[in-house]
Structure 1
Amino acid sequence: MSVLDEGIAPFPLEQPAAETVPSDQEHDGFIQAVTHAEDIDDFDMRHLRYFLTVVRAGTVSAAAQELHISQPSLSQQIRRLERRIGAPLFIRSSRGVELTAGGRAFLREIQSIPGQLRTAIAAATPAPRAWPVGVCGGVPAEVLAQVQNGLVGCARIRQDPARPRLRMRSVGTVDQLELLRHGEIEFGIVRLPCPAPHLVRAVVWDEPLGIVMRPDHPLAAHTALTWADLATQRLLWYERGCAPGYAETVPVQLAGLGWNARLHPIDHDQQALFVHALQTTADLVALRPRLAVQGDPQLAWRPLPAGVAPRERLAVTALAGSRAAHVLRRVAARHDWPYLP
């Protein structure tokens, strides 16, 4: 069944009630939408999902696993979509798939449709039961509580069980950007800077970074560190895919302050593996705000030598123009969270 096939009450073209009279612009937009819909009666929404998943996964086999369907079935559906459009969308090779020029044009025009549809559905539902929130790794519990209280309010939840709740889950920053765009999560929590022009951001955490190490590390005996001390150490640091923007910016800031750190990259942001790497590697240190590690007996924290240290900033994000973005703007104003449109 097409996504446009469900029964919908007719638009009030004749003698509408006073409160539902559409403006001329709205009426013209509706007529145009009806005309466009007539041209895509046989278009299935799932084909958009299949197409977008193949683009994201890079191979048909990986996309089929993600979609929980067989690879031949997915290939057949993609070919059906190409026949419907009348142009090839992918160039197939042994390494995977690449978009054709037509495929890139198609992607550019349709990638916002799932998010727009989700927003339209949400707009018709005044009180959603849950807002899914993607959370990048290493976010302190107090930040999650602050976001919870800001977006919903714990006291209000207890008084009114029907109010929206947050459903938080671990999602890497890169994946968050895709899920927000496709409407699969309402909000994200990421480290800044996070280059994504289609998002709005509200800063909820802004703390100076310091050196983190195991308690028996030789530098843990120093109450104050120097750049010469740190020159002999490698820095346990994010790969770009874990924290785009932040992963590149902080090492550049450190170099400007006097430490050209040799990076020891990690492709994850799990706390247990982070601690394990520090405990099992002799010349390895990391960067974290003091508040993020205080009270952890497995870690020691020391300030950086600089008077003005690089900072870690965490922000709640939402898709620009969405209902979630309007909610975030109001909450940011109420709680004095710096808002970055």
Structure 2
Amino acid sequence: MSVLDEIVGSLPVDQTNSGDTLGESNLEWVRRATAHAEHVDDFDMRHLRYFLTVVRAGTVSGAAQELRISQPSLSQQIKRLERRVGAPLFIRSSRGVELTTGGRAFLREIQSIPEQLRSAIAAATPSPRTWPVGVCGGVPAEVLAEVQVGLTGQDADWTGGGTTSPLRMRSVGAADQLELLQHGEIAFGIVRLPVPAPGLVRAVVWDEPLGVVLYANHPLAGRTELTWDDLSAQRLLWYDEGCAPGYADTVPTQLTALGWKAALHPADQDQQALFVHALQTGGDLVALRPRLAVEGDPQLVWRPLPTRAAPRERLAVTALAGTRSARFLGRAATRRGWPFLA
């Protein structure tokens, strides 16, 4: 049992309390609990997160990449934590890092703190009136409407007599969503699969085959069918790694196996206007999107890939496993028939 478990488990139940007034037994418990505060004033949750990430990654360089900070900065923060603890936590070698005896003891005591902190915040926070949702770039309006109905039971154009929607959607890159979910800044994320993020549950809300998107005056736009030879001379307007981690690598690999080793032109595809402008001015530039994502845009032409096994775009609503949001998402997936991936 961790130190935090012992503190939380010792909270007495005072049946004589009413309203916000603390009984004598609870006041005594508060005095005992706060007496330990002086021993943690030099600690920062950031240092615990850094420590746990190094443990999981096995190397400081791998942890730094995951945390998106420089390796020297992470090493400095770990040394600062070790100075505060008063003992070395890691044995460093050319192969990576291993926990010292003290490091293993430290890990046993603090590994449950992030989850307990999330539980404490959830217990203190009333059920939200709005759910913040992070949305990656290029998500079709149809998907947002389906998520709206699935999570709230409300149509996208619902006004509720002037009341705002329970969902508050905003643009958040897929690479940043995991951290915001962990910090409780968003309740759900909408991303393209696969996404290399541990600790998430996923409900697939969109699964469509990809096809070739061309600007209306592109030389290939007049053809009803395209060949791999046609596509071999074209550059592919594609997502950068930060915009669609996992998906950005997976689809080009599938295309290579099918016969098109595309020259990639990475670009920010968050805004439809910039996406269309890039195709308009790119000359030999084409893109890949599901047909429904561009249908109805008179500036764009969609053509199927020359295969029956075209790569697919799968969009999913994600939530942090073990949270209230995850349980809510599981129930919504059951109601809507969304494939649910734990």
> TM range, normalised to the smaller chain?
0.7 to 0.9
Give the letter for the 2:320 counterpart. Answer: L
2:154 alignment partner in structure 1: 154
Matched, 1:301 2:302: yes
User: How far is the alpha carbon of 1:46 from its aligned partner?
Assistant: 8.4
1:230 alignment partner in structure 2: 231
Normalised by the length of structure 1, the TM-score is 0.72
User: How far is the alpha carbon of 1:333 from its aligned partner?
Assistant: 0.3
2:20 alignment partner in structure 1: none
Matched, 1:48 2:45: yes
Matched, 1:249 2:260: no
Q: 1:187-246 CA distances to partner (integer Å, 9 max, x unpaired)?
A: 100000112231000000111100011100000010111111111111111122211111
User: How far is the alpha carbon of 1:159 from its aligned partner?
Assistant: 8.0
2:26 alignment partner in structure 1: none
Report the Cα distance in structure 2 between the residues aligned to 1:160 and 1:204, rounded to whole angstroms. Answer: 28
Give the letter for the 2:230 counterpart. Answer: D
Report the Cα distance in structure 1 between the residues aligned to 2:78 and 2:139, rounded to whole angstroms. Answer: 39
Q: 1:65-115 CA distances to partner (integer Å, 9 max, x unpaired)?
A: xxxxxxxxxx9x9998665333689xxxxxxxxx9989x998998698556
User: How far is the alpha carbon of 1:41 from its aligned partner?
Assistant: 4.3
For the aligned residues, what is the CA RMSD? 4.1
1:265 alignment partner in structure 2: 266
1:23-172 matched pairs, under 5 angstroms: 41-44=38-41, 47-49=44-46, 56=67, 58=69, 84-86=84-86, 113=113, 116-154=116-154, 158=160, 165-172=166-173
Query: Helix, strand or coil: the match of 2:44?
Result: helix
Is the contact made by 2:47 and 2:81 (CA closer than 8 Å) also made in structure 1?
A: no
User: How far is the alpha carbon of 1:263 from its aligned partner?
Assistant: 1.3
Q: Which structure 1 segments of 5+ residues have no match?
A: 18-30, 64-74, 90-98
Structure 1 vs Structure 2: percent identity of aligned residues?
Answer: 64
2:286 alignment partner in structure 1: 285
Q: 1:246-266 CA distances to partner (integer Å, 9 max, x unpaired)?
A: 111111111222211121122
Report the Cα distance in structure 1 between the residues aligned to 2:275 and 2:263, rounded to whole angstroms. Answer: 17
Report the Cα distance in structure 2 between the residues aligned to 1:267 and 1:131, rounded to whole angstroms. Answer: 26
Report the Cα distance in structure 1 between the residues aligned to 2:146 and 2:165, rounded to whole angstroms. Answer: 16
Report the Cα distance in structure 2 between the residues aligned to 1:256 and 1:235, rounded to whole angstroms. Answer: 16
2:11 alignment partner in structure 1: 11
Give the letter for the 2:160 counterpart. Answer: R
Query: Helix, strand or coil: the match of 1:219?
Result: coil
Query: Helix, strand or coil: the match of 1:218?
Result: coil
Q: 1:301-321 CA distances to partner (integer Å, 9 max, x unpaired)?
A: 111111221110000001111
Give the letter for the 1:231 counterpart. Answer: S
Give the letter for the 1:128 counterpart. Answer: P
2:182 alignment partner in structure 1: 181
Report the Cα distance in structure 2 between the residues aligned to 1:271 and 1:107, rounded to whole angstroms. Answer: 46
User: How far is the alpha carbon of 1:153 from its aligned partner?
Assistant: 2.1
Distance 1:303 1:118, change over 3 A: same
Report the Cα distance in structure 1 between the residues aligned to 2:238 and 2:42, rounded to whole angstroms. Answer: 40
Query: Helix, strand or coil: the match of 2:220?
Result: helix
Distance 1:134 1:283, change over 3 A: same
Is the contact made by 1:115 and 1:183 (CA closer than 8 Å) also made in structure 2?
A: no
Query: Helix, strand or coil: the match of 1:295?
Result: coil
Report the Cα distance in structure 1 between the residues aligned to 2:190 and 2:326, rounded to whole angstroms. Answer: 13
2:94 alignment partner in structure 1: none
1:22 alignment partner in structure 2: none
Is the contact made by 1:208 and 1:310 (CA closer than 8 Å) also made in structure 2?
A: yes
Is the contact made by 1:111 and 1:182 (CA closer than 8 Å) also made in structure 2?
A: no
Is the contact made by 2:228 and 2:259 (CA closer than 8 Å) also made in structure 1?
A: yes
Report the Cα distance in structure 1 between the residues aligned to 2:69 and 2:98, rounded to whole angstroms. Answer: 13
Distance 1:178 1:107, change over 3 A: farther
Is the contact made by 1:224 and 1:305 (CA closer than 8 Å) also made in structure 2?
A: yes
Query: Helix, strand or coil: the match of 1:151?
Result: helix
Query: Helix, strand or coil: the match of 2:226?
Result: coil
User: How far is the alpha carbon of 1:322 from its aligned partner?
Assistant: 0.8
Give the letter for the 2:11 counterpart. Answer: F
Report the Cα distance in structure 1 between the residues aligned to 2:107 and 2:184, rounded to whole angstroms. Answer: 16
Give the letter for the 1:172 counterpart. Answer: G
Distance 1:116 1:203, change over 3 A: farther
Report the Cα distance in structure 1 between the residues aligned to 2:40 and 2:151, rounded to whole angstroms. Answer: 37
